[in-house]
Copies of this chain bind each other. A is one copy, B any other.
Amino acid sequence: VHQARRHARSEIVDKATQLLDDYGIADLTMRRLAKELNVTPGALYWHFANKQQLLGAVSDRILDPVTIAALEAPWSERMVATCSAVRDALLAYTDGAELVSASFAAGQTQRLTQVLVSLTAAAADAGMSPVNSDLTARTLIYYVLGFTADEQSRLQWDAAGALDDDQSVLATDPTARFEFGLRLLVGGVAHASPRASSEPQSAAQN
């Protein structure tokens, strides 16, 4: 009846991303998004084939700040920097890790695929074969997604819970915890590689 407002793909992704950050992944539904855009649910299906594809676009939006590390840096530093940048991007949005995990599993995130490529290149620079480099890159991504999804869900669970006072920094500081596992992996790469160019950094103090 009324002439509805026309939308570009990017505007829809804007609102979807905002909806995610404001209310969480459970409230990011096609119907809710349509209502927020003053549009009928069916309209969204002119722009996106299905919900998975829309969520993939939101995932890419979340990962937008992740820039690929310069090739001059040593391979181990590139791995750490790239993985840390991905974690930071995921943490910047409510349920970011959960959403991107699902999109990655569904093969709907191009930017994470780019990250995979650059991690593979870093592993190759460590002296690994192409096949092993790919496996290493995937292992790193599984870790980043798994760790961050876990971290983020805990954040929600004890949003106002009594945080038990622990002693060591590694017991509480999530960034330190993240880097421990990351350096465990990087250390494994250095250990497995014939040509471990950079000094294999010790995987945190024991």
Contacts and interface: CB of A to CB of B under 8 A. Distances in A.
Interface of A: 98, 105-106, 127-129, 131-132, 135-136, 138-139, 141-143, 145-147, 149-150, 153, 168, 170-171, 177, 180-181, 183-194, 200, 202-204, 206
21 contacts: A98-B105, A128-B206, A131-B168, A132-B180, A132-B204, A136-B184, A138-B147, A138-B150, A138-B181, A139-B147, A139-B184, A142-B145, A142-B147, A142-B181, A143-B143, A184-B189, A186-B188, A187-B188, A191-B203, A192-B202, A193-B206
Q: Chain A interface secondary structure, helix, strand, loop or mixed?
A: helix
Q: Number of copies of this chain in the oligomer?
A: 2
B177 A184 contact: no
B193 A188 contact: no
Given A147-B139, A204-B132, A184 B180 contact: no
B203 A171 contact: no
Nearest to A98: B105
A38 to B, nearest CB: 31
B188 A203 contact: yes
A138 B204 CA distance: 16
B105 A150 contact: yes
Nearest to A204: B132
A135 B189 contact: no
